[in-house]
Amino acid sequence: MQRRRFVAQTGSLAISAALLSPGVSQAQAQANTPRAGTDFNALSRPAPVEAPAGQIELVEFFWYNCPHCNAFEPVLAEWVKKLPTDIVFKRVPVAFRDDFVPQQRLYYALEALNLLDSLHARVFAAIHVEKKNLSQPPAIVDWVVKQGVDASKFIEQFNSFSTTTKATRARQLQTAYQVEGVPALGVAGRYYTDGALAKSMGRVLQVVEHLIDQIRRGS
């Protein structure tokens, strides 16, 4: 979802094994090389990172209600499984408005209960396939309990100081990366790209691979 409009052109969501295929001409290679200001933005001020020295932090910004995030999620999940060990990947739920906050809390409560592996994708399915409205706390709690989660434990985490703090930090990171739409990816506190910049989410992954390579090269 764009803050001001939806990104209509999602394009191919194919996972790229490499930025360029063997055998392409030098001219083609140069034409396909991602460019700052066109395919990605270089941040004027670095965003905070939590990854330890020697590792590269990769952040996905998303919103459960966003149809483009829903379409991108399975592709991203498979791509993340193949990331090298020097990449630290994390998801950050955005809040462009205050009514996004309950779903931020949902994500961080599931994280605290170690339930993201089993329920993260199911939240997307509940909203986009089953057409459930999970925008308000009572509906969220009701749905989570139907997934077999203890109500009191979930509510405790949903309302906890830790979850509030994480939601606040998520909004701060969203601002630091100057996120304009989701899904979007931030790289090493230095670069930002999304479907509007890269022209498709498949291209986004290629751009990110290029940026990771540039960071490894020290540029």
Q: Give per-residue pLDDT as tens, 110-139.
A: 999 999 999 999 999 999 999 999 999 999
Residue 1 lies in a domain: no
pLDDT, tens digit, 9 for 90 and up, residues 4-31: 333 333 444 444 434 334 454 544 445 6
> 156: domain range?
43-216
Residue 133 lies in a domain: yes
pLDDT given at position 21:
44
Residue 35 lies in a domain: no
Q: Is the pTM of this model over 0.85?
A: yes
Domain harbouring 197, CATH code: 3.40.30.10
Residue 126 lies in a domain: yes
pLDDT, tens digit, 9 for 90 and up, residues 30-40: 567 899 999 99
Nearest to 183 by CA among 197, 171, 172, 169: 197
Query: How many independent structural domains does the chain possess?
Result: 1
Q: What does the alpha-carbon distance between residue 137 and residue 48 come to, in Å, rounded to a whole number?
A: 30
